[in-house]
């Protein structure tokens, strides 16, 4: 049985990773530069690799790192810097389709595999009251694209095409496939 090392400070990623019962779990908060000028679909892979490389793994351990970004009409939306930026992002997403990309890297100190998951999400039209009320909850301030589908942000989602867990920040099916390539059975 392998030990899994999550390279993330995200409580929701930790909760999702607990789905892989029977494996010891350790959390490390990676210290890495999260700036990347690549398009969102490529940036998430690069950023997850950087995070994974920050983790010191011991024999029998596998590091798991992920990064999630939202892309709307070719523009990348990361985590908002403040409430004004969150409002701007939510106004742009209102009534539109966007893509959520998560790069996921599995690394055991010698071998590294990285894959990217893409999910399409459509927001219903939002009123300014909806947006301001949501921002006042504090929920959007630490999430790519300024929303969390696992929380109140779910009320804005009118359609989804792809992996729901990807929008939460950890595509479980893809992660399971990567871990299987490392000989880790779930």
Q: What is the set of active-site residues?
A: 67
Burial of 124 (0-12, 13-18, 19+ CB in 10 A): middle
Spatial CA neighbour of 162 closest among 107, 112, 102: 102
Structure-block tokens of residue 116: 């990217």
- Which residues have CB under 8 Å from 91's CB, separation 6+? 126, 128, 131
Question: How distant is the alpha carbon of residue 107 from its chain centre?
Answer: 17
Coil, strand or helix at 23: coil
Question: How distant is the alpha carbon of residue 146 from its chain centre?
Answer: 12
């Amino acid at each position: 049985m392998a030990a899994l090392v999550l390279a993330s400070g995200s409580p929701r990623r930790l909760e999702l990773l607990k789905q892989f019962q029977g494996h010891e779990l350790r959390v490390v908060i990676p210290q890495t530069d999260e700036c990347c000028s690549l398009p969102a679909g490529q940036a998430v892979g690069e950023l997850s690799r950087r995070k994974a490389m920050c983790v010191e793994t011991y024999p029998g351990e596998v590091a798991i790192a992920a990064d999630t970004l939202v892309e709307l009409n070719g523009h990348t939306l990361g985590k908002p810097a403040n409430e004004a930026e969150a409002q701007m992002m939510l106004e742009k997403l209102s009534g539109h389709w966007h893509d959520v990309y998560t790069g996921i890297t599995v690394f055991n100190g010698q071998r590294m595999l990285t894959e990217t998951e893409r999910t399409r999400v459509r927001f219903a039209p939002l009123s300014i009251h909806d947006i301001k009320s949501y921002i006042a909850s504090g929920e959007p301030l630490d999430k790519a694209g300024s929303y969390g589908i696992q929380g109140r942000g779910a009320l804005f989602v009118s359609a989804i095409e792809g992996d729901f867990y990807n929008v939460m920040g950890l595509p479980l099916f893809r992660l399971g496939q990567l871990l299987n390539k490392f000989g880790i059975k779930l």
